[in-house]
Structure 1
Amino acid sequence: MSRSRMPRIAACLAAVGGVTVALVPGSGQAAQGTPTVRVVAEGLNSPRGVTVLGDGTVLVAEAGTGGRGPCTKSTGASETRKCFGNTGSIYRVRGKHQGRVVRNLPSISDPAGREAAGPVDVVVSGDGYLVLSGAALNSAKRAQFGAQARRMGTLYHVGGRWHGSVIADLVEHETRLNPDGVLPPTGPGKEPLHSNPWRFVAAGGDWLVTDAGANDLIRTARGGPAHTELVFPHSELRARGSRAPELAESVPTGIVRGPDGAYYVGELGGRKPGAARIWRIVPGHRPQVFVSGMTSLTDLALDGRGGLVALSMGEAAGSGGAAKPGALYRIDLKTRARSEIPTGGRLRMATGMGIGREGEIYVANNGIGNGAGQLVRVEP
Structure 2
Amino acid sequence: MKNYSVLGLLCLIGIFITGCSNESVPTAIPAQEESSLMNPASLKANHNGDGGFTGFIFDLATAPNNEILVADAGAGISTRHGEILFSLEGASSVAPVGTGVMWVTTWPWFGAPTEDSGQGIHLVTKGRTKMVANLFEFESENNPDGEEELDSNPYAVYAHNASFAVVADAGANDLLKVHNNGNIELMAIFPPEMVSTENLKNLVGCPDSGAGPCGLPDMIPAQAVPTSVTLGPDGYYYVGELKGFPAPTGESNIWRISPGASGAMCGSSPDCMKAFDGGFTSIIDLTFDENGMLYVAELDEQSWFAVEFLDSFAGGNIKACDPETMQCEVIATGIPMLTAITFDKDGRLWATQNSLIPGLSEVIEISL
Give the shorter-chain TM-score range: 0.7 to 0.9
Question: Quick one: distance in 2 between partners of 1:320 and 1:179?
Answer: 34
Question: Quick one: distance in 2 between partners of 1:321 and 1:166?
Answer: 39
Q: Is the contact between residue 89 and residue 100 of structure 1 (CA under 8 Å) also seen in structure 2?
A: no
Instruction: Rate the CA distance shift 1:356–1:236 in 2: closer, same or farther, 3 A.
Output: same
Question: Quick one: distance in 1 between partners of 2:346 and 2:178?
Answer: 32
Match 1:90 to one of 77, 82, 90:
77
Question: Quick one: distance in 2 between partners of 1:323 and 1:232?
Answer: 28
Q: Is the contact between residue 164 and residue 179 of structure 2 (CA under 8 Å) also seen in structure 1?
A: yes
User: RMSD of the TM alignment (CA)?
Assistant: 3.3
Shift of 1:102: 2.4
Partner amino acid, structure 1, of 2:82: G
Match 1:155 to one of 121, 139, 147:
121
> What stretches of structure 1 of length at least 5 have no aligned partner?
26-33, 65-87, 108-117, 144-151, 185-192
Shift of 1:3: 5.2
Q: Is the contact between residue 5 and residue 249 of structure 1 (CA under 8 Å) also seen in structure 2?
A: no
Corresponding residue for residue 73 of structure 1: none
Is 1:359 equivalent to 2:347 in the alignment? yes
Instruction: Rate the CA distance shift 1:275–1:213 in 2: closer, same or farther, 3 A.
Output: same
Corresponding residue for residue 131 of structure 1: 104
Corresponding residue for residue 253 of structure 1: 227
The 10-residue stretch of structure 1 (50-59 or 263-272) with the greater mean CA deviation from structure 2: 50-59
Shift of 1:142: 3.6
Corresponding residue for residue 69 of structure 1: none
1:296-335 matches, cutoff 5 A: 296-314=282-300, 315=302, 316-317=305-306, 322-335=312-325
1:160-175 matches, cutoff 5 A: 160=126, 163-175=128-140
Question: Quick one: distance in 2 between partners of 1:320 and 1:225?
Answer: 42
Corresponding residue for residue 256 of structure 2: 280
1:1-380 matches, cutoff 5 A: 5=4, 8-10=14-16, 19-20=35-36, 35-44=44-53, 45-64=55-74, 88-93=75-80, 98-107=81-90, 118-135=91-108, 141-142=115-116, 152-160=118-126, 163-184=128-149, 193-202=150-159, 205-238=163-196, 245-270=219-244, 271-282=247-258, 283-284=260-261, 285-291=270-276, 292-314=278-300, 315=302, 316-317=305-306, 322-343=312-333, 345=334, 347-380=335-368
Q: Tell me the TM-score normalized by structure 2.
A: 0.75
Corresponding residue for residue 201 of structure 2: none
Q: Secondary structure at the match of 1:183?
A: coil
Partner amino acid, structure 1, of 2:77: I
Question: Quick one: distance in 2 between partners of 1:320 and 1:253?
Answer: 22
Instruction: Rate the CA distance shift 1:367–1:307 in 2: closer, same or farther, 3 A.
Output: same
Corresponding residue for residue 148 of structure 1: none
Q: Is the contact between residue 95 and residue 158 of structure 2 (CA under 8 Å) also seen in structure 1?
A: no
Partner amino acid, structure 2, of 1:207: A
Question: Quick one: distance in 1 between partners of 2:77 and 2:70?
Answer: 6
Partner amino acid, structure 1, of 2:322: D
Question: Quick one: distance in 2 between partners of 1:23 and 1:104?
Answer: 31
Question: Quick one: distance in 2 between partners of 1:102 and 1:53?
Answer: 12
Count of residues paired in the alignment:
313
Instruction: Rate the CA distance shift 1:42–1:224 in 2: closer, same or farther, 3 A.
Output: closer
Instruction: Rate the CA distance shift 1:273–1:321 in 2: closer, same or farther, 3 A.
Output: farther
Q: Is the contact between residue 352 and residue 364 of structure 2 (CA under 8 Å) also seen in structure 1?
A: yes
Shift of 1:61: 0.8
Question: Quick one: distance in 1 between partners of 2:197 and 2:124?
Answer: 48
Question: Quick one: distance in 2 between partners of 1:3 and 1:171?
Answer: 14
Q: Tell me the TM-score normalized by structure 1.
A: 0.72
